[in-house]
């Protein structure tokens, strides 16, 4: 750690990991509800568990992005953070608002929660991923603005590197596109159209900038490759991401009441979306192969390479699988979508956050890298979580293919619930893979407590 | 990447490309909004439909069901439930939940009034009449 204000990243990372644990617990509960339908009913109906699972995911990734930024920006700008106090204040506000929202989902009927929190003044709730009460949404905007102010001021007084500029653009984009969550017209087609301006333009737009910048930062640090080279890659990757991903939004405009030309535009541009993800994989391996030093933090290198590969598989390959309109006609809204959603979110955003945590946490704890045993434990966690996620994806894909076949392709289509019975074996297997994932997560937590000879900090 | 392709060139292509394709998306959005009246069934967007949408949202139906293929994959698609089941079935169904069948997936009871049930049905009917380019492939959704 080169600047003392970088230490505000620590609580952000700890909160991220804590909420990650919560996310997985609710994932497992839902995995069981899929096969034992009345599990936890009526205390925690499926939709409530799902809101908790997905909202915790989003919130912990945001904690991770913010922690990453607080760690990375002072070092890139070569100056202390503009206001560490503001950063800590925002941490507590965000954590308390987040926890209150989750408790609200769990303890109060959703319609009561809506009434209590001003949804009748401006109705924004009840749409997938954007279920948060109005006051939470406003809170998110306030935290985001204070955060962006803090970061922008830091950058203005320091060195402006490509990495920090790209990261900042991604973060501003994140905040700006979130504003569409306040627009909820009565016209369902328009509602859905602009809903994707949050969801798609996040994960296949501005978040890719954030991801590429974080990855580039870690790669510079662990490989010692020349900044010029890495920065050029960074520009190429984000160019590809936006050139394909912006019009690629059209792959969600096939069947929601929008004009049919989107079938062409969406198919063609989104079919190119795997390219930036592929470039990221090549980038990561290339830089590691050309490394100029052996960084003692082997685990961080593994997470970084894992991010490249898994993001390409989840977003690139599994995205491509169902992105062409003639295929999507059959797979739209099936378990194929769930398969892709899981591996893409895990491969790209979960892993990039765990990468920066792996790199930064030892430094925040005053060492260059963790000891051998702690790193081995961390790498076990990587493999357990990653392999089980591959299996979750494969089982859901199998379930999805059967579902699509029995319910949509067949000449004698079966009703939804009958099909679900037919494919329950795959849901059971998904659940077991999920249990292994949870074991991997426990291993990950344990890696922070493994004692041993950590590698001391040597300042260059 | 060779020496002739400089960082400055990469940067300029990025800014140029990002701005161009964003503006293209905005232009296409305007065009789409102009074309929507033909496909989005807005003629039938009555007060009752709007109330139904509000009920749909404040009960988080999307947390179990898909609507036009978007949402959760735990329970049947409802974008075409109106032609699949009809108004009376839908109302009777919602009123009679949960089934309580052991081990079967459950839908909560929302204690709706008759008016609210009519609003939900109106919303589902309106939704089913949106021009979705013939999606879903068949009545099972
Ligand atoms: C906790 C999950 C859950 C929530 C929330 C939920 N449902 Fe359901 N719904 C189900 C399940 C599961 C079924 C199928 C049950 C069965 O077949 O036994 C179902 C079936 C239905 C059906 C019958 C579909 C058909 O094709 O026969 C209708 C209509 C319906 N739901 C409407 C709604 C509406 C409207 C809402 C919101 C007010 C809602 N549901 C909220 C789980 C849910
Ligand atoms: C890291 C990047 C990505 C993430 C996190 C991600 C995540 C998701 C999620 C969660 C959904 C489900 C949305 C919903 O609930 O309705 C989804 C849908 C979809 N994604 Fe991605 N995605 C990514 C990249 C891609 C890419 C690169 C492609 C194309 C090559 C793609 C193609 C699709 C398609 C076609 C759908 C719609 C599925 C349907 O019709 O049901 N995604 N994505
Ligand atoms: C880091 C790991 C995980 C990530 C990133 C993740 C992400 C997601 C996302 C993005 C969705 C929404 C999907 C969509 O709309 O397409 C979702 C839903 C879901 N997740 Fe996870 N999840 C993870 C782990 C798990 C685990 C371990 C389980 C259970 C074994 C699980 C079970 C579910 C279930 C059942 C749904 C609901 C699917 C539906 O709508 O029917 N998840 N998860
Ligand atoms: Fe998308």
The helix/strand/coil state of A369 is strand
Residues 420-449 of A with CB under 8 A from B: 420
Q: pLDDT, tens digit, for every residue of A5-23?
A: 999 999 999 999 999 999 9
Residues 141-180 of A with CB under 8 A from B: 162
Read off the pLDDT of each residue in A373-378 and give the average, rounded to a whole number: 97
Burial A306-332 (b: 16+ CB within 10 A, else e): bbbbbbbbbbbbbbbbbbbbeebbbbb
- Rounded to the nearest 5 percent, the helix, strand and coil shares of chain A are 80, 0, 20
Residue A206 lies in a domain: no
Q: pLDDT, tens digit, for every residue of A98-118?
A: 999 999 999 999 999 999 999
Residue B75 CA: distances (Å) to CA of A53, A326, B127: 17, 24, 17
Q: Residue A459 pLDDT more than 70?
A: no
Q: Are residues A4 and A120 in the same domain?
A: yes
- Check if A395 contacts B (Cβ < 8 Å): no
- Kindly list the residues from chain B whose CB atom is less than 8 angstroms away from the CB atom of residue A253: 32
Mean pLDDT of chain A: 97
Domain C-terminal end among A141, A160, A179: A160
- Kindly list the residues from chain B whose CB atom is less than 8 angstroms away from the CB atom of residue A42: 98, 106, 108
Q: Is B129 exposed, middle or buried (0-12, 13-18, 19+ CB in 10 A)?
A: middle
Are A47 and B60 within 8 A, CB to CB? Answer: yes
Structure tokens at A302: 């593994």
Q: What is the DSSP letter of A455?
A: B
Give the pLDDT score at A454: 84
Residues 26-85 of B with CB under 8 A from A: 28-29, 31-33, 35-36, 39-42, 45, 49-50, 53-54, 56-64, 66-77
Structure tokens at A225: 């490759």
Which residue in A126, A192, A231 is closest to B58 by CB distance? Answer: A126
Domain ranges of chain B: 7-37, 40-128
Q: pLDDT, tens digit, for every residue of A80-97?
A: 999 999 999 999 999 999
Size of interface A-B (CB pairs under 8 A): 225
CA dihedral A188, A194, A199, A200 (to 10 degrees): 110
- Kindly list the residues from chain B whose CB atom is less than 8 angstroms away from the CB atom of residue A128: 62-63, 70-72
Closest CA to A164 of A281, A69, A290: A69
Q: Residue B2 pLDDT more than 60?
A: no
Q: pLDDT, tens digit, for every residue of A327-367?
A: 999 999 999 999 999 999 999 999 999 999 999 999 999 99
Are B25 and A50 within 8 A, CB to CB? Answer: no
Are A186 and B49 within 8 A, CB to CB? Answer: yes
Q: Residue A460 pLDDT more than 50?
A: no
Residue A251 near residue A328, CB atoms below 8 Å: yes
In SS3 terms, B36-103 reads as HHHCCCHHHCCHHHHHHHHHHHHCCHHHCEEECCEECCCECCCCCHHHHHCHHHHHHHHHCCCCCCCC
Residue A153 lies in a domain: yes
Structure tokens at B34: 């102009």
| Any ligand 1 atom below 6 A from CB of B98 | no
Read off the pLDDT of each residue in B90-96 and give the average, rounded to a whole number: 98
Q: Are residues A155 and A233 in the same domain?
A: no
What is the CATH code of the structural domain delimited by B40-128?
1.10.760.10
Give the pLDDT score at B3: 66
Q: Is B26 exposed, middle or buried (0-12, 13-18, 19+ CB in 10 A)?
A: exposed
* A176 CA: distance to closest CA in chain B (Å): 14
Whole-number Å distance between alpha carbons of B47 and B84: 24
Are A417 and B76 within 8 A, CB to CB? Answer: yes
Best mutation site among B54, B76, B77, B84 for ligand 1 pocket (most ligand atoms within 8 Å of CB): B76
Q: Residue A191 pLDDT more than 80?
A: yes
Question: pLDDT above 70 covers what percent of chain A?
Answer: 99
Whole-number Å distance between alpha carbons of B17 and A408: 39
Read off the pLDDT of each residue in B91-119 and give the average, rounded to a whole number: 98
Q: Are residues A235 and A312 in the same domain?
A: yes
For A230, the domain range is 224-449
Burial A44-67 (b: 16+ CB within 10 A, else e): bbbbbbbbbbbbbbbbbbbbbbbb
Residue A73 near residue A81, CB atoms below 8 Å: yes
Residue A232 lies in a domain: yes
* B28 CA: distance to closest CA in chain A (Å): 9
- Kindly list the residues from chain A whose CB atom is less than 8 angstroms away from the CB atom of residue B18: 238-239, 242-243, 246
- Kindly list the residues from chain B whose CB atom is less than 8 angstroms away from the CB atom of residue A260: 133
| Any ligand 3 atom below 6 A from CB of A158 | no
**DSSP string for A106-160:** HHS-HHHHHHHTTTTTS---SSTT--S-HHHHHHHHHHHHHHHHHHHHHHHTS--
Give the pLDDT score at A455: 83
- A282: how many CB neighbours lie within 10 A of its CB? 14
Q: Are residues A135 and A29 in the same domain?
A: yes
Residue A264 lies in a domain: yes
Q: Are residues A155 and A275 in the same domain?
A: no
Closest CA to A123 of B51, B42, B77: B51
Q: Are residues A32 and A153 in the same domain?
A: yes
Q: Residue A393 pLDDT more than 80?
A: yes
The helix/strand/coil state of A426 is helix
| Any ligand 3 atom below 6 A from CB of A303 | no
Atom of ligand 2 at shortest range from CA of A199 = 13
Give the pLDDT score at A307: 98
Ligand 3 center to A27 CA (angstroms): 6
Beta bridge partners of B71: B66
Residue A195 lies in a domain: no
Ligand 2 center to A377 CA (angstroms): 32
ipTM higher than threshold 0.85 = yes
Residue A125 near residue A132, CB atoms below 8 Å: yes
**The CATH number of the domain where A249 resides is what?**
1.20.210.10
The helix/strand/coil state of B2 is coil
Residue A175 lies in a domain: no
Residue B118 near residue B54, CB atoms below 8 Å: no
Domain count, chain A: 2
In SS3 terms, A308-358 reads as HHHHHHHHHHHHHHCCCHHHHHHHCCCHHHHHHHHHHHHHHHHHHHHHHHH
Q: What is the pTM of this model?
A: 0.98
Which residue owns the Cα nearest ligand 2 atom 42? Answer: A319
Which of A101, A199, A333, A402 is the best substitution to test chain B (most B C-beta atoms within 10 A)? Answer: A333
Give the pLDDT score at A1: 83
Residue A353 CA: distances (Å) to CA of A149, A211, A263, A403, A448: 22, 8, 34, 33, 16
Residues 321-340 of A with CB under 8 A from B: 329-330, 332-335, 337-338
Element (H, E) at A58: helix A46-77
Read off the pLDDT of each residue in B49-69 and give the average, rounded to a whole number: 98
Residue A185 lies in a domain: no
Closest CA to A211 of A181, A245, A182, A248: A245
Whole-number Å distance between alpha carbons of A210 and A280: 13
pLDDT tier, A452 (very low <50, low <70, confident <90, very high otherwise): confident
Over the Cα atoms of chain A, what is R_g?
22
Residue A179 lies in a domain: no
Domain C-terminal end among A106, A125, A160: A160
Beta bridge partners of B70: B67
| Any ligand 3 atom below 6 A from CB of B18 | no
Q: pLDDT, tens digit, for every residue of A258-280?
A: 999 999 999 999 999 999 999 99
Closest CA to A388 of A351, A435, A353: A435
- Check if A242 contacts B (Cβ < 8 Å): yes
Structure tokens at A260: 């049919």
| Any ligand 3 atom below 6 A from CB of A322 | no
Question: pLDDT above 70 covers what percent of chain B?
Answer: 98
Which residue owns the Cα nearest ligand 2 atom 31? Answer: A319
Question: pLDDT above 90 covers what percent of chain A?
Answer: 98
Domain C-terminal end among A142, A160, A178: A160
Over the Cα atoms of chain B, what is R_g?
22
Read off the pLDDT of each residue in A400-407 and give the average, rounded to a whole number: 98
């Amino acid at each position: 750690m080169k600047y003392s204000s970088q230490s505000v990243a620590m609580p952000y990372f700890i909160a991220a990991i804590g909420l990650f644990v919560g996310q997985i617990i609710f994932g497992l509960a839902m995995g069981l509800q899929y096969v034992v339908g009345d599990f936890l009913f009526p205390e925690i109906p499926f939709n409530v568990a799902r809101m908790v699972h997905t909202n915790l995911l989003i919130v912990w990734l945001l904690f991770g992005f913010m922690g990453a930024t607080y760690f990375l920006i002072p070092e890139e700008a070569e100056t202390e953070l503009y206001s560490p106090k503001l950063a800590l204040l925002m941490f507590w506000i965000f954590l308390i608002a987040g926890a209150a929202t989750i408790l609200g989902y769990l303890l109060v009927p959703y319609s009561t929660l809506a009434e209590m929190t001003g949804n009748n003044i401006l109705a924004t709730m009840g749409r997938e991923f954007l279920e948060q009460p109005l006051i939470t949404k406003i809170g998110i905007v306030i935290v985001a603005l204070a955060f962006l102010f803090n970061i922008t001021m830091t950058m203005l007084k320091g060195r402006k590197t490509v990495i920090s500029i790209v990261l900042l653009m991604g973060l501003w984009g994140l905040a700006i596109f979130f504003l569409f969550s306040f627009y909820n017209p009565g016209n369902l087609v328009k509602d859905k159209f602009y809903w994707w301006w949050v969801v798609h333009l996040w994960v296949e737009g501005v978040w890719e900038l954030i991801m590429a910048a974080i990855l580039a930062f870690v790669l510079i640090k662990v490989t010692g490759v020349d900044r010029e080279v890495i920065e050029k890659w960074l520009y190429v990757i984000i160019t590809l991401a936006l050139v394909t991903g912006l019009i690629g939004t059209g792959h969600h405009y096939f069947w929601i009441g929008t004009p049919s030309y989107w079938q062409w535009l969406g198919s063609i541009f989104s079919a190119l979306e795997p390219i930036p993800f592929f470039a990221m994989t090549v980038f990561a391996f290339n830089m590691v192969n050309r490394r100029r030093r052996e960084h003692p933090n082997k685990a961080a290198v593994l997470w970084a390479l894992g991010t490249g590969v898994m993001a390409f598989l989840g977003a690139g390959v599994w995205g491509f699988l169902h992105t062409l309109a003639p295929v999507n006609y059959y797979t739209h809204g099936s378990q194929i979508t769930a398969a892709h959603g899981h591996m893409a979110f895990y491969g790209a955003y979960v892993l990039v956050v765990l990468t920066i945590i792996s790199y930064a946490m030892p430094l925040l704890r005053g060492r260059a890298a963790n000891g051998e045993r702690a790193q081995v434990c961390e790498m076990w966690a990587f493999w357990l979580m990653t392999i089980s996620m591959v299996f979750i994806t494969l089982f859901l894909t199998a379930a999805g293919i059967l579902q699509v076949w029995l319910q949509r392709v067949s000449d004698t289509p079966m009703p939804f619930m009958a099909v679900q019975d037919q494919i329950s074996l795959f849901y059971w297997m998904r659940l077991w893979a999920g249990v292994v994932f949870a074991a991997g997560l426990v291993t990950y937590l344990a890696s922070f407590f493994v004692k041993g000879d950590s590698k001391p900090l040597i300042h260059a | 990447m060779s020496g002739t392709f400089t960082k400055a060139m990469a940067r300029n292509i990025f800014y140029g490309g990002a701005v161009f394709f964003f503006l293209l998306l905005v232009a296409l959005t305007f065009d789409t909004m102009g074309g929507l009246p033909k496909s989005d069934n807005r003629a039938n967007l009555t007060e009752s439909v709007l109330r139904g949408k509000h009920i749909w949202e404040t009960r988080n139906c999307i947390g179990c069901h898909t609507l036009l293929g978007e949402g959760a994959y735990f329970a049947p698609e409802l974008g075409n439930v109106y032609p699949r089941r009809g108004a009376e079935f839908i109302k009777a169904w919602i009123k009679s939940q949960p089934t309580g069948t052991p081990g079967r997936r459950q839908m909560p009871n929302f204690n709706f009034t008759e008016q609210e049930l009519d609003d939900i049905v109106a919303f589902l009917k309106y939704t089913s009449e949106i021009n979705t380019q013939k999606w879903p492939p068949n009545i099972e959704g």
